[in-house]
């Protein structure tokens, strides 16, 4: 990577790092929020959903817009909106007797901002880096996302020692300066900002869909299922640590960081590995999903502390194995002028996976640990079957008639 690109890419890596704080930093303090506001497990789970569903809805529109006006011009205000949503939730918690509705509203605003962040950073990385170097850069970007997942439980637990609402203020403190930094440091190629007609755009998208529908759907499913299981399991695990093992505060944050660290390390390593080994992407995706499935089964069967920790760590490692090759295949499936919408559609299903996990696990938690884990294991098995049958690197990364993928 050239020296001039290093600073630009380092600043761009702030986007996935900060975006992932939106949910991960709240997980360690969810029980404290539940207690302080005297709300049910389902309502506290909605604080994750209120962030993720608006983000999932906004992401495709942000993708289409970025294909026409550029990525940076969307990312900067999106980060500022993300930060302001956190400040609204924090101020409500401090000033109101019943702050839950306004906290929920702040989380929705945060989600709207998040819809224009990570996926566009991924698309912009695909624009900037070509060929095999793209896999390495995307692996680093996912590792930055994973690093955020590692640090965020610790940061959330540490902030929780101050107050249960402290994480909301941290969002604003980090996101708004990051948006300003990207505005002045990250630039786009003039080639990427050339206007295109609606007809050309539509025809090119139809061509991609006709040729690559099932391989792309299988990649989308793999990414969504991986994050659905990760966040659902972590939410469930966080509650188990407090209720069953009486582990709270910063120590709980350290324990939760372990599985996420496994994900970050594997994402970083695979980014380097895939730089010259694109032919292994399908194998890595299917293997990663299989590791997630094993982790889910172990989590359901063994109730002991270390067995649960090992099971969740396996889930984290499996997610780290799935995401880098999936990200590379999806960003390489379309040329620059179509990359925004394809990448953002993928981002939408990722966010819905994150949104569904915690409340679903929380809703059926009373039935017992086995039921939600059996359900999620079945979903992972379906994703494995789709991956084996339909993912094809040559088809996905093949060239478009209107431009290179």
For each of the domains in the chain, give its residue range(s) and CATH number, in order of start: 3-185+195-396 (1.20.1250.20)
CA distances to 18, 158, 183, 233 from 177, rounded to whole Å, are: 11, 22, 10, 32
347 three-class SS: helix
Query: Distance of alpha carbon 285 from its chain centroid, rounded?
Result: 16
Classify the C-alpha dihedral 180-186-190-191 as positive or negative: negative
Closest to 47 measured CA to CA, from 135, 111, 132: 111
Q: Which long-range contacts (CB under 8 A, 24 or more apart) does 213-217 make?
A: 214/390, 215/329, 215/390, 215/391, 215/392, 215/395, 215/396, 216/330, 216/333, 216/342, 216/396, 217/386, 217/390
CA distances to 197, 238, 341, 351 from 344, rounded to whole Å, are: 20, 30, 5, 10
Per-residue tokens: 115: 């819809």
Length of the chain in terms of residues written: 405
* 405 residues of the chain, pLDDT tens digit each: 566 677 888 888 899 888 888 877 887 788 888 889 988 877 888 888 888 788 878 888 888 888 888 889 999 999 999 999 999 999 999 999 899 999 999 999 999 998 888 888 888 888 887 766 787 888 888 888 878 877 877 888 788 888 889 999 999 999 999 999 999 888 776 665 566 666 666 777 777 778 898 999 999 999 999 999 988 888 788 888 888 898 877 787 788 878 888 888 888 888 788 876 667 899 999 999 999 999 989 988 888 999 999 999 999 999 999 998 998 899 888 877 778 878 888 888 887 787 777 777 766 556 666 676 778 889 999 999 999 999 998 888 875 544 433
pTM: 0.78
């Amino acid at each position: 990577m050239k020296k001039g690109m290093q600073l630009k890419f380092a600043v761009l890596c702030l986007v996935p790092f900060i975006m992932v704080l939106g949910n991960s930093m709240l997980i360690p303090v969810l029980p404290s929020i539940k207690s302080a506001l005297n709300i049910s497990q389902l309502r506290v789970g909605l604080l994750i959903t209120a962030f993720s569903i608006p983000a999932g809805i906004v992401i495709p529109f942000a993708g289409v817009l970025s294909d026409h006006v550029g990525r940076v011009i969307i990312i900067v205000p999106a980060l500022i909106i993300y930060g302001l949503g956190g400040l609204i939730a924090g101020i409500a918690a401090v000033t109101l007797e019943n702050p839950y509705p306004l906290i929920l509203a702040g989380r929705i605003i945060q989600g709207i901002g998040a819809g224009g962040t990570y996926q566009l950073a991924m698309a912009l990385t695909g624009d900037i880096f070509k060929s095999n170097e793209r896999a390495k850069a995307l692996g680093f970007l996912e590792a930055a996302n994973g690093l955020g997942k590692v640090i965020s439980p610790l940061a959330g637990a540490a902030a929780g020692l101050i107050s249960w609402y402290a994480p909301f203020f941290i969002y604003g403190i980090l996101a708004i300066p990051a948006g300003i930094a990207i505005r002045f440091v990250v630039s786009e190629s003039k080639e990427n900002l050339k206007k295109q007609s609606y007809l050309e755009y539509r025809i090119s998208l139809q061509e991609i869909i006709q040729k690559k529908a099932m391989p792309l759907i299988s990649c989308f499913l793999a990414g969504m299922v991986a994050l659905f299981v990760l966040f659902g399991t972590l939410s469930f695990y966080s509650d188990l640590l407090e209720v069953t093992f009486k582990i709270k505060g910063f120590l709980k944050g350290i324990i939760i960081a372990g599985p996420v660290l496994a994900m970050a390390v594997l994402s970083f390593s695979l980014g380097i590995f895939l730089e010259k080994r694109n032919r292994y992407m399908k194998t890595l995706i299917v293997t990663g999903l299989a590791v997630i499935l094993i982790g889910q089964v172990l989590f359901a069967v063994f109730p002991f502390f270390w067995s649960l920790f090992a099971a969740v760590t396996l889930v984290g490692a499996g997610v780290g194995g799935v995401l880098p090759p999936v990200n590379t295949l999806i960003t390489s499936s379309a040329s620059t002028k179509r990359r925004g919408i394809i990448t953002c559609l993928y981002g939408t299903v990722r966010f819905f996976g994150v949104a569904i996990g915690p409340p679903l696990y929380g809703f059926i938690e009373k039935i017992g640990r086995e039921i939600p884990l059996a359900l999620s294991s079945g979903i992972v098995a379906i994703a494995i079957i789709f991956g084996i049958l339909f993912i094809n690197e040559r088809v996905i990364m093949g060239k478009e008639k209107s431009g290179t993928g």
